[in-house]
A = this chain, B = another copy of it.
């Protein structure tokens, strides 16, 4: 990969919500490590055939900024990953220190945007919206960017009770005006602000935001791109890779029980039942769509501090075969959450920018394989989802080829 060498005229802005979290820290360190040739691009699908033949933006053209609610900085977060997860090497840290500090200057700390159940929100929803929009605009202007992608990598929020007011953009605007804090979460506010600033929006958390019809309408009216939600990195990834096999052998899944153990900040937030609900729904729904029926299916998420960012998931699949004989399969997945999530973000930045340059807008179906709960599709099988990305790329490559042919005639 020689993306860092390519001189590319244009920069793309990426404004991250949760800019000091584990995933953001990992993806920024990883991007820099790859540019400094201290790590390979393993994990990034945009670096493999046929995607690497598209005119994707080089990593060096990505400009990071963002927001967080905790008082810290990127280099501190990177040290913590080095120490506790052992995913970033000392050598990498030593090499990229200055880069980290420079990016850190683009990150704002805004504690009042924390989503705490009983917090007395200090500012009104409209003033918060203005605040977010101003931050995004300042980031774009000061970096001379004509396209900014806003990505939500913050913590899980309690599930929002959806109402008809979330269905049309007019009524939605009224919710903000009237400061209906029960119906508007920070994630919803970020997506709204992003679209009002003509940004793309990617929802990587299980939180409600662009799945709201009102926000999707807004994006379409303004010809903007969006994708979501809930990044698929571990147990659900395996579920959507394995369940089609059971379906396509007519092996009847009786029970699919999943246990997820993790000890990072995500695990801590998810230990609060209200925060867990949305994620559990996303994890559970995939089976019904793939199998065509509803097996007994439990999913638990347990906070086990000693594991840190190293999630351990155990799944038991109890199934019935010929002569109604019961059999079983079990798997253990031991992966580092941030390491699995980070390259997906880099891929999506590149695919989003590519679509934007091609004047596409609306939901990016081609990114379905990246999400537990892809917006506007019931395609849940991983291979079928990935096929959407592959055929999208092939269509563009064919059209590029035909343009080249015409040009050469």
Q: Bits for A84-97, please: 1 = Cβ < 8 Å to B, else 0.
A: 00111010100000
Expressed in whole angstroms, the Cα–Cα distance for A304 and B335 within the complex equals: 19
Copies of this protein in the complex:
4
Expressed in whole angstroms, the Cα–Cα distance for A88 and B324 within the complex equals: 9
* Interface contact B40-A324, CB-CB below 8 Å: yes
* Interface contact B39-A324, CB-CB below 8 Å: yes
The residue of chain B having its C-beta at the shortest distance from the C-beta of A335 within the complex is B327
Expressed in whole angstroms, the Cα–Cα distance for A295 and B103 within the complex equals: 37
Which of chain B's residues have a CB closer than 8 A to the CB of A323? 26, 29-30, 33, 39, 43, 87-88, 92, 339, 342
Q: Which of A8-16, A66-74, A249-257, A356-364 contacts B (4 or more CB under 8 A)?
A: A249-257
A162 lies within 8 A of chain B by Cβ: no
Expressed in whole angstroms, the Cα–Cα distance for A255 and B255 within the complex equals: 27
* Interface contact A255-B298, CB-CB below 8 Å: no
A165 lies within 8 A of chain B by Cβ: no
Q: Contacting A321 at CB < 8 Å: which of B252, B321, B335?
A: B335
The residue of chain B having its C-beta at the shortest distance from the C-beta of A237 within the complex is B245
Query: Nearest chain B CB to A264's CB is how many angstroms away?
Result: 14
Query: Nearest chain B CB to A396's CB is how many angstroms away?
Result: 18
A176 lies within 8 A of chain B by Cβ: no
Interface size class of A (residues with CB under 8 A): 35 or more
> Residue among A252, A261, A321, A329 with the most chain B CB within 10 A?
A321
Q: Contacting A316 at CB < 8 Å: which of B47, B87, B245, B312?
A: B312
Query: Nearest chain B CB to A403's CB is how many angstroms away?
Result: 28
The residue of chain B having its C-beta at the shortest distance from the C-beta of A329 within the complex is B333
Expressed in whole angstroms, the Cα–Cα distance for A249 and B92 within the complex equals: 24
Which of chain B's residues have a CB closer than 8 A to the CB of A42? 250-252, 320-322, 324
* Interface contact B300-A296, CB-CB below 8 Å: no
* Interface contact B255-A305, CB-CB below 8 Å: yes
A306 lies within 8 A of chain B by Cβ: yes
Q: Contacting A249 at CB < 8 Å: which of B45, B88, B245?
A: B45
* Interface contact B305-A325, CB-CB below 8 Å: no
A332 lies within 8 A of chain B by Cβ: yes
A206 lies within 8 A of chain B by Cβ: no
* Interface contact A340-B316, CB-CB below 8 Å: no
Residues of A at the B interface (CB closer than 8 Å) are 26, 29-30, 33, 39-45, 47-48, 86-88, 90, 92, 237-238, 241-242, 244-245, 248-252, 254-255, 257, 259, 261, 296, 298, 300, 302, 304-307, 312, 314, 316, 318, 320-336, 339-340, 342-343, 369, 381-384, 386
Beyond A43-B249, A327-B334, A332-B332: 16 further Cβ-contacts under 8 Å? A30-B323, A40-B324, A42-B251, A42-B322, A43-B322, A245-B383, A248-B369, A255-B305, A255-B306, A255-B307, A300-B302, A307-B318, A321-B340, A322-B340, A323-B339, A329-B331
